[in-house]
Amino acid sequence: MKKMLNRVLLATVILAAPLAAQAEKLAVVDMQAIFEQLPQREEIGKAMKQEFGDRIAKVQKLQADIRGLLETQQRDAALMGESQKTELARKIDAQKSELQLEGKALDEDMRTRQGEEQNKLLVKVQKTINKIAEKENIDIVLQRGAAVYVKPSADISGKVIEALSKGK
């Protein structure tokens, strides 16, 4: 009797599984492709350049100054006295220290700002995905990488990009 009950339960599970899977409407999104194709990404890049342009120019000037001092040191070392060599070496070291401090601070600030902007964009993307899912009665939206195979019709990434491009 127990064997018979197990067989009936197994048959029920096997037959019901495809029906249960069809009851849920699934879709996928490729978040990497979405972020790569958004026009807002270019706007963020322009804003970052504008915000940090002066500091980037300062770091580039420091780099150029150090290169010039190193060339001077290499070219004129034979003609310089010991005090001149020492003074030039100290100047180079000071410039390198300043470059390191400025560069590290700039890099850190830019990374923080980039993260803030990406988080804002992520919120917009998530809201857009939710709107599309509600509009099309999609029950579950997965990341593209979570599925081994997906029909192209189930990928809503293009719709998300289109919606975000219109809304900017």
Give CA–CA dist 85/77, Å, rounded. 7
Q: Is the pTM of this model over 0.75?
A: no
- Average pLDDT score over residue span 61-80: 90
Which pLDDT score is estimated for 160? 92
pLDDT of 26 above 50: yes
Can you tell me the distance from the alpha carbon of 57 to that of 36, in angstroms, rounded to the nearest whole number? 27
Q: Do the Cβ atoms of 48 and 113 come closer than 8 Å?
A: yes
All structural domains of the chain: 21-167 (3.30.910.20)
6 has pLDDT over 50: no
pLDDT one-digit tens code per residue, 123-163 = 999 999 999 999 999 999 999 888 888 888 889 999 999 99
Which residues have CB under 8 Å from 129's CB, separation 6+? Answer: 29, 141, 156, 160
78-119: pLDDT as tens digits: 888 899 989 999 999 999 999 999 999 999 999 999 999 999
Q: Could you tell me if 37 and 161 are in contact, meaning their C-beta atoms sit under 8 angstroms apart?
A: yes
What is the Cα–Cα distance from 26 to 93, expressed in whole angstroms? 60
- Which residues lie across from 6 on neighbouring strands? none
DSSP string computed for 40-87: HHHHHHHHHHHHHHHHHHHHHHHHHHHHHHHHHHHHHGGGS-HHHHHH
